[in-house]
Structure 1
Amino acid sequence: MTFAFPLPTTSQVNFTPSFSSSSAPSLPSATTTRRALLRDTLKRYKRLTPTEQYNNLPSLLSSISEYLPYLYTLDAYITSQDITPLVEFETEWRAVLSRRIVPTELPRIRRKGLDYEICFATATLAYLHTLRARTFLMSAIQAPPPSDSNTTSTSIHLINQAKDQILTAASIFLYLRNISTTRERGDSQPMPADVTTSMYNALWSLCLASATLLAVLKDDPYPSIVALQHDKNSKEWMYKAPTVPTRNRSLLLARLCMYSADMAGKAAAGVAATPGSGAELKAYCEDMAKTAKAKACRFLGVDAEAQGKLGEAIGWVLAGKEVLGMVVGGEGDKGKLGRGLDILKKAREERKMERAPMEALLGPDAGKLEEAMVLNELERRWKRINDSVNFQTVQSTSSLLAMLPTGRPVFPENQTWTPPKLSSSELSQLQTQAPNGGDLDWVGVDDSDDDMSPPEGSMPPGGFPRSQSTGYY
């Protein structure tokens, strides 16, 4: 439910030759120092194993949280003319969301202007919040089965933390979208896809879609198919069905899923409309849109089954499978249905074997396979009952899909991030300190392509969590 953004890396930059301030003479050099520490942390992060990368996220968040107040204060001083630009500032970042022409890593792209630095550094903070959300999700799905209320509360708390991280990322992307449409970049060269208005808008939409699905995840009345996948003998949930929500609750969850599907669809369209954007992010957005729409079909099917409309319930399950792209047919086409699911499983398992054990908990298709397996099990159960007891006619998927409700948002869409600034006491120190000239030899001058490709088994581009336990979400 969260995309695993690759983190960008950057070259060394010195602010002191480009900016001079009489009111805060040491601000450019202090900003240079904090940026060098962030660059070094990003560089080290790329060389870690996937498990070590997850454990290193708090350190990265600390580094960028220390750097951004200096960067935004420097920008504010330029706007208020308390800092004088000396020479045109240039910075270089690796564009991780741009199209990959060759299998090797994308080159770092150099552009002029402080806005370029602000956009990349701030977007990196948003990427980190989404990666933190993934760590909370993994902790939630690795929790033991909810034998008591305390265990259940722990899982819900972790999912809430993941949701909060995603909402923070959404507010950052919204802020970047707003400033990218109103601020002059001062450079006629085309910008990489990572720092365009259309990409920021797409990422904002994707984060809202992800957060909405996490809100639905807490109230999903059925155990995750994760348990079924990792424990073939654990099918108790198919015989002892969980408490089905009331009619109004099912319709609400379906509408939330439809909102998530709409936002994920907008994200996919935004990524596709961004020149030079990569294919992985677009595919993930499309998969999330399908997953969310299929979930809406499932909730409507659960509601229909609770009312005794088993034929309609089966129709909704088949409609969900159709949305996911599975082959749907009549009773004589069970082999085709099974093969359609096997293809999804095989593709997922092939990708899983290429990754580290921790990454095996995450799927790269926004939960499409897991939802397909849930729908498949519900179809088998309901068809068995219908064929032996009810004998109701299964409604056509086309008529049911035309009845899907409109989406409903659950989170505010206009909540923007507030850039951090230095406190008055910190500014007072900068106003009295003499500049150090930006001498950063102690950081290290290795400025080659030092951010080598991540080790084998690195993070997949997003995904839905999978559990090795038989626990519920």
Structure 2
Amino acid sequence: MPFPFALPTTSSVLLSDFFDSVTHPSLPLTATTRRSVLKDALKKHKRLSPQQRDSNLPTVQDAATSYVPYLLALNTGSGYRDVGPEKLDVEVKQPVEVEWRSTLSVALPGREPPRPKLVGLHHEIAFTLSTLAYTHSLLARSQLRILYGTATLSADQRASTIAGAMKHLLEAHSIHNYLLSLPSISAAKDAPIDIQPSTVSALASLALAEATIIVVAKDDPYTAAVAEDRNDSNKDWMFKAPTIPKVRAHLFARICLAAAEHATNASGLLARSGTGRIDEDLVKYANDLRRTARGKAARFLAIDTELSGKTGEGLAWLKGARKELGLSVELDDGKRKGFKGLKQSWQERREDRKIEKCGEWGMDGGRYEEARVVEMLEGKWDKENSTMNIQLVPPFEPLIASMPSGREYHSPQPYNPPTLSPDVFASMRAPPEPEEAVFRGEEEDSGGEDGFAGRSEPVGAFPGTAEEYGRSTPSTSYY
């Protein structure tokens, strides 16, 4: 986790064909240049290998962040509103037409998702800001992957890594909420599934759930102990059971329950979008994240109970944690049994290989990683209870039903979109020079677009020599 979003790609658009400004004539052309840079960055990012994409994410983030203020300035000026102290007048020649690839919609096997033609500047704003939010989630994902790598991190390094990921997730949450606050976005009925209000609201809840659940990872020694235990580079031959203060264990349980509530909200909103329309992996991930959060909460309540000397009740909480995780409740001498246990072991090994190869790891929402922690504690406590304490293990169902309410940890701040500096804004009052050409990007369009040229090369012609052929209309002649 977080979810591995696929960044969308877009077509080439010359914004000066759709907008004109009397007060700032250079604004449409400058905005086109910034958009072309973003278009190239997204297309180049798509061709990179999974190992190279993590290091390229800051480039995409910079391109999207640089384009947002120009895009919002066009939107503000077209609504006859001023930008700060500046008077901005933007005339809409015709509704802007853009194409963005819908990465959250269901596609046929072996085919890319569709890239529909969208009419209206609000669609352009929604996809641009959504792309920026996806980038922040992917940046958080690339940082959290370090926790499960081969390197053993110190407590300070672990805390710094998690804090950076948390900041990116909260920024993604704020961007999604900002989109919902725009009337043109929240009222759009003809939008693709990616930018519909229900989907954007679900993604906001999902980002907040991810930012909430990793709060406990910073001070959770059990998860770190399990990660180090299966790390081949770890040379420690002796394992000391970690300890955690009692009060914090109960607090962590309530924080996890708050994350579960946000994940439940996201799962319900995604299901409302319609089965068969939205990516099934995203729906499954939201449901698995909910299971992980509730299972982690039950595990912390088990720790809180065991620290009070109630080992039997703690074991019951761990059984409840396994139930919440959707795994087998019973173990045979501390080991998994049956086909379900074999399948779980196979899926865990598969997840480890994905982490090593920078693949799409974490699609289970951390569910199997939490299962390893629960099994470690269950094996340890069961051995102690069988030899020393000998306490009865009560049923876990009443305990799960008596879970406390969730407690929010974060206070998300509203998103403040970047704005143009007064110097940059004033420089666009001058009209563009006649010989000044707008940057249209180095990447060619894909997905059936004609691009800026408006026509394709003649059959058999050398690339770039279309102008040398005088025939401008199709001919029915064979010669």
Q: TM-score scaled to structure 2, two decimals?
A: 0.85
Alignment counterpart, residue 99 of structure 2, candidates 92, 95, 118: 92
SS of the residue corresponding to residue 77 of structure 1 reads helix
Cross-structure match for 2:213 = 213
SS of the residue corresponding to residue 408 of structure 1 reads coil
Q: Quote how far apart the aligned CAs of 1:267 are.
A: 0.6
Residue 182 (structure 2) pairs with residue 167 (structure 1) = no
Q: Quote how far apart the aligned CAs of 1:15 are.
A: 0.6
Q: Quote how far apart the aligned CAs of 1:397 are.
A: 1.4
Cross-structure match for 1:298 = 299
Evaluate the alpha carbon distance shift between residue 363 and residue 74 of structure 1 in structure 2; reply closer, same or farther with a 3 A threshold: same
Cross-structure match for 1:309 = 310
For the residues of structure 2 that align with 1:183 and 1:364, how far apart are their CA atoms?
A: 29
For the residues of structure 2 that align with 1:351 and 1:302, how far apart are their CA atoms?
A: 26
Evaluate the alpha carbon distance shift between residue 66 and residue 450 of structure 1 in structure 2; reply closer, same or farther with a 3 A threshold: farther
SS of the residue corresponding to residue 422 of structure 1 reads coil
Residue 398 (structure 2) pairs with residue 399 (structure 1) = yes
For the residues of structure 2 that align with 1:97 and 1:442, how far apart are their CA atoms?
A: 27
Q: 2:169 is aligned with what amino acid? A: I
SS of the residue corresponding to residue 84 of structure 1 reads strand
Q: Quote how far apart the aligned CAs of 1:284 are.
A: 0.5
Q: Quote how far apart the aligned CAs of 1:344 are.
A: 2.1
Q: 1:288 is aligned with what amino acid? A: L
Cross-structure match for 2:17 = 17
Q: 1:70 is aligned with what amino acid? A: Y
RMSD in angstroms over aligned alpha carbons? 2.6
Q: 1:109 is aligned with what amino acid? A: P
SS of the residue corresponding to residue 116 of structure 2 reads strand
Alignment counterpart, residue 419 of structure 1, candidates 377, 402, 417: 417
Evaluate the alpha carbon distance shift between residue 443 and residue 144 of structure 1 in structure 2; reply closer, same or farther with a 3 A threshold: closer
Contact 2:29 2:438 in 1 (8 A): no
SS of the residue corresponding to residue 98 of structure 2 reads strand
For the residues of structure 2 that align with 1:9 and 1:405, how far apart are their CA atoms?
A: 44
Q: 2:416 is aligned with what amino acid? A: T
SS of the residue corresponding to residue 216 of structure 1 reads coil
Contact 1:72 1:420 in 2 (8 A): no
Q: Quote how far apart the aligned CAs of 1:442 are.
A: 5.8
Contact 1:341 1:372 in 2 (8 A): no
Contact 1:297 1:316 in 2 (8 A): yes
Residue 99 (structure 2) pairs with residue 101 (structure 1) = no
Q: Quote how far apart the aligned CAs of 1:445 are.
A: 6.7
Q: 2:424 is aligned with what amino acid? A: E
Cross-structure match for 1:374 = 373
Q: Quote how far apart the aligned CAs of 1:137 are.
A: 1.6
Contact 2:319 2:329 in 1 (8 A): yes
Question: 1 or 2 for the larger relative contact order (CA 8 Å, sep ≥6)?
Answer: 1
Structure 1 residues 396-421: Cα deviation after superposition (integer angstroms, max 9, x where no partner): 111110111111111125x3212222
Q: Quote how far apart the aligned CAs of 1:253 are.
A: 0.3
Q: Quote how far apart the aligned CAs of 1:209 are.
A: 0.7
For the residues of structure 1 that align with 2:210 and 2:311, how far apart are their CA atoms?
A: 31
Q: Quote how far apart the aligned CAs of 1:348 are.
A: 4.2
Deviates further, 309-318 or 360-369: 360-369
Q: How does 1:452-471 map to 2 (within 5 A)?
A: none
Q: Quote how far apart the aligned CAs of 1:374 are.
A: 1.1
For the residues of structure 1 that align with 2:30 and 2:124, how far apart are their CA atoms?
A: 16
Q: 1:138 is aligned with what amino acid? A: R
For the residues of structure 2 that align with 1:307 and 1:356, how far apart are their CA atoms?
A: 37
SS of the residue corresponding to residue 16 of structure 1 reads helix
For the residues of structure 1 that align with 2:6 and 2:46, how far apart are their CA atoms?
A: 9
Contact 1:228 1:234 in 2 (8 A): no
Q: 1:340 is aligned with what amino acid? A: K
Q: How does 1:359-370 map to 2 (within 5 A)?
A: 359=358, 362-370=361-369
Evaluate the alpha carbon distance shift between residue 383 and residue 236 of structure 1 in structure 2; reply closer, same or farther with a 3 A threshold: farther
Gaps of 5+ in 1: 452-473
SS of the residue corresponding to residue 215 of structure 1 reads coil
Structure 1 residues 72-107: Cα deviation after superposition (integer angstroms, max 9, x where no partner): 111111112611111121111001111223331102
Q: Quote how far apart the aligned CAs of 1:361 are.
A: 9.1
Cross-structure match for 2:349 = 349
Q: How does 1:217-232 map to 2 (within 5 A)?
A: 217-224=217-224, 225-231=226-232
Q: How does 1:129-278 map to 2 (within 5 A)?
A: 129-142=136-149, 144-145=151-152, 151-179=154-182, 185=188, 190-224=190-224, 225-231=226-232, 240-246=240-246, 248-275=247-274, 276-278=277-279
Evaluate the alpha carbon distance shift between residue 253 and residue 235 of structure 1 in structure 2; reply closer, same or farther with a 3 A threshold: farther
Contact 2:32 2:440 in 1 (8 A): no
Max Rg structure: 2
Evaluate the alpha carbon distance shift between residue 295 and residue 284 of structure 1 in structure 2; reply closer, same or farther with a 3 A threshold: same
Contact 2:206 2:266 in 1 (8 A): yes
Evaluate the alpha carbon distance shift between residue 87 and residue 445 of structure 1 in structure 2; reply closer, same or farther with a 3 A threshold: farther
Deviates further, 98-107 or 47-56: 98-107
Cross-structure match for 1:111 = 118
SS of the residue corresponding to residue 65 of structure 2 reads helix
For the residues of structure 1 that align with 2:335 and 2:148, how far apart are their CA atoms?
A: 32
Structure 1 residues 126-178: Cα deviation after superposition (integer angstroms, max 9, x where no partner): 011111112222334448445xxxx3212211110110010000000111122
Evaluate the alpha carbon distance shift between residue 181 and residue 450 of structure 1 in structure 2; reply closer, same or farther with a 3 A threshold: closer
Q: 1:264 is aligned with what amino acid? A: A
Deviates further, 215-224 or 262-271: 215-224
Cross-structure match for 1:459 = none
Deviates further, 119-128 or 174-183: 174-183
Q: 1:379 is aligned with what amino acid? A: E
Cross-structure match for 1:463 = none
Give the % identical residues: 34
Cross-structure match for 1:464 = none
Structure 1 residues 207-263: Cα deviation after superposition (integer angstroms, max 9, x where no partner): 1111111111111132432223344998978x52112212x2111100000001111
Evaluate the alpha carbon distance shift between residue 15 and residue 364 of structure 1 in structure 2; reply closer, same or farther with a 3 A threshold: same
Evaluate the alpha carbon distance shift between residue 233 and residue 138 of structure 1 in structure 2; reply closer, same or farther with a 3 A threshold: closer
Deviates further, 23-32 or 404-413: 404-413
Evaluate the alpha carbon distance shift between residue 140 and residue 435 of structure 1 in structure 2; reply closer, same or farther with a 3 A threshold: farther
Contact 2:40 2:443 in 1 (8 A): no
Cross-structure match for 1:384 = 383
For the residues of structure 2 that align with 1:232 and 1:44, how far apart are their CA atoms?
A: 35
Evaluate the alpha carbon distance shift between residue 200 and residue 132 of structure 1 in structure 2; reply closer, same or farther with a 3 A threshold: same
